[in-house]
Structure 1
Amino acid sequence: MKKLILFTLLICISLFAFGQKRVVCCSKPSATRQFAMLAANPNFRMEHKTPLPIHFQSAIGKAITYKTADGKESAAYFLKAKKTTNNYILVIHEWWGLNDFVKRESEKIYNELGNVNIIDVDLYDGKVATTREDAGKFMQAVNENRAKAIINGAIAYTGKNARIATLGWCFGGGWSLQASLLAGKQAAACVMYYGMPEQDVNRLKTLNADVLGNFANKDQWINPKVVAKFDADMKKAGKKVYLHKYDADHGFANPSNPIYDSNATKDAYANTITFLKARLK
């Protein structure tokens, strides 16, 4: 009798474990994970042309380190405001990593906006890619818990009274939205350049910031259908999103990209600056 009870118990445990495995395996991956998984697609990798070299040396930007929520540290690139202010922008890099393009763009925005602090976070923990193969590996290897810890560490670094805007391109475009979600009531604005939107309407309901989205109609991945769904989801969530859609391709705003579109970039940049100025007064 005892053997029968033990056998039955083992079967129940096995069935439960199998059921749990099925739930985990069949659960829908997060928006950021979905985007990272695209790196396994050869067409997606080929869409990202090998970047032209950009060399940038700043006289005001500096490297910093801060504690992260997982008990570790993270390095970042920091542009400190000339006068004390609680306005911050968290900038999140493309799939190439925190390179000179990102630092140069951050300083351009810094000079344009006036008195603002900018932190370029590094979700690759120091790795920078110069080939699409390495970029794909780095993006796929990003651990979501570590990425969130890095972002939460940057939010803590800004201080509890900070008003936080977020901005990112490509891989960083999706994480820009996630960073604004993580910032909670401190979130003041979110700018996404052709990044994967959050697809959970209930999560979008917790968003405290308006969103500006710069998207590309020729993008095969964050395509017009994905953008239209994001627009509808934001409306369902009762949130404001301002969409700008260009007859350009994924990565159009990076001058180191051979498919760079100067006209689309100028318009997207002008809209971005206007949007941020209105929300970081």
Structure 2
Amino acid sequence: MKIVFITGVSFFMSLFSMLVPKKEETKIPLCHSAGNDMSAMAADPAFQRLHIAPLSFIYKGAGEMIKFSTPDGQQANGFLLKAKKPSDKWLLVYQEWWGLNDNIKQQSEAFYNDLKDVNVLAVDMYDGKVATEPSEAGKLMQGADKNRLSSIMKGAIAYAGPKAEFASVGWCFGGMLSLQSAMLEGKQAKGCVMYYGRPEQDVEKLKTLETDVLGIFGSQDKGISPESVKQFEENMQKAGEKVTVKMYDAGHGFANPSNPVYNKEAAADAYKLALNYLKGKLSA
């Protein structure tokens, strides 16, 4: 994620925001979209305020960092928890906008321990960079190149091999990527969980899904509004795809234990829901 896209539209929007008095913002219509839209959203102070700096946390557990090749001729990184028994079952884990930090590693290990006999690969979408402050994360996401994102995901899929069966999970920025990953996995896709990530609204793209989707959202989320989630449900229906949505009375990032706005009760229920879904998709 290294290229910043600047368009006449985004420049005009920025100029407009400086010239027009700014009212108190209650809703951000789009969150974590790819390409230019993502750059614009990442630069928005109101958007950044939805992401409080995570509490300090150091992961001390199993797993190892690996490298794999990507179709664009580069290499990418991942945090791998390999199944104790040979397995073609894989869970791809996608980071929040902070990067592949220790919280994501801990969440990966939780799924690894509870799923059993499943390879868990947390994919590094920032090529080694990790943010600890919203402004840092905004800069990293502003520099996101959708082609590089796609190449990293394709590289992770290829690393697992042609016989692999995939499910994916991600939070926030990673929730969007989890859905995109499922589309790239083709017939190898068996399941997809997206926590409060920006839904794909293009019906034609949604038609390429070979799996159903579990969407976990917050009714108080000002980035991913309930209205946009409803639109996603309608578009999935138009595409002939199945989506199950669970809406919690919580805000953006409620499932992250390192987030000061962590909602323990909602997070626990969401994890149970996601785990049971993934067990059903990745069962032997």
Shared fold (TM-score greater than 0.5)?
yes
CA distance in 2, matches of 1:168, 1:139: 16
Q: Look up the equivalent residue of 1:205 and give its one-letter code.
A: K
State the match for 2:19 in structure 1: none
After the TM superposition, which residues 41-52 of structure 1 pair with which residues of structure 2 at under 5 Å, given as runs? 41-52=44-55
State the match for 2:41 in structure 1: 38
CA distance in 2, matches of 1:219, 1:32: 19
Q: CA deviation at 1:74?
A: 0.7
CA distance in 2, matches of 1:80, 1:199: 34
Q: Look up the equivalent residue of 1:72 and give its one-letter code.
A: Q
State the match for 1:209 in structure 2: 211
**Inter-CA distance 89–100: structure 2 relative to 1 (3 Å threshold):** same
> SS in structure 1 opposite 2:131?
coil
Does residue 240 of the first structure (1) align with residue 246 of the second (2)? no
Q: CA deviation at 1:32?
A: 2.6
Q: CA deviation at 1:75?
A: 1.2
| Alignment match of 2:82 (pick from 73, 80, 83) | 80
CA contact (8 A) 2:194 2:215 kept: yes
CA distance in 2, matches of 1:276, 1:31: 25
| Alignment match of 2:226 (pick from 224, 227, 249) | 224
Q: CA deviation at 1:116?
A: 0.2
> SS in structure 1 opposite 2:157?
helix
> SS in structure 1 opposite 2:54?
coil
CA contact (8 A) 1:97 1:124 kept: yes
- Which runs of at least 4 in structure 1 moved beyond 4 Å after TM superposition? none
**Inter-CA distance 36–179: structure 2 relative to 1 (3 Å threshold):** farther
After the TM superposition, which residues 29-178 of structure 1 pair with which residues of structure 2 at under 5 Å, given as runs? 31-33=33-35, 34-58=37-61, 60-178=62-180
> What residue ranges of structure 2 are gaps of 5+ in the alignment?
1-6, 12-31
Aligned positions, number? 256
CA distance in 1, matches of 2:38, 2:199: 9
CA contact (8 A) 2:233 2:243 kept: yes
CA distance in 1, matches of 2:116, 2:60: 20
Q: CA deviation at 1:51?
A: 1.1
Q: CA deviation at 1:35?
A: 4.2
CA distance in 1, matches of 2:241, 2:167: 16
CA distance in 2, matches of 1:246, 1:36: 28
| Rg (Cα) greater in structure | 1
State the match for 2:16 in structure 1: none
CA contact (8 A) 2:50 2:223 kept: no
State the match for 1:10 in structure 2: none
CA distance in 2, matches of 1:142, 1:38: 12
> SS in structure 2 opposite 1:49?
coil
State the match for 1:188 in structure 2: 190
State the match for 1:14 in structure 2: none
Give me the CA root mean square deviation. 1.8
Q: How many percent of aligned residue pairs carry the same amino acid?
A: 49
Q: CA deviation at 1:31?
A: 3.8
Q: Look up the equivalent residue of 1:46 and give its one-letter code.
A: R
CA distance in 2, matches of 1:81, 1:180: 21
Q: Look up the equivalent residue of 2:53 and give its one-letter code.
A: T
CA contact (8 A) 1:65 1:73 kept: yes
| Alignment match of 2:278 (pick from 265, 276, 279) | 276
> SS in structure 2 opposite 1:273?
helix
Q: CA deviation at 1:221?
A: 1.5
Higher-helix-fraction structure: 1
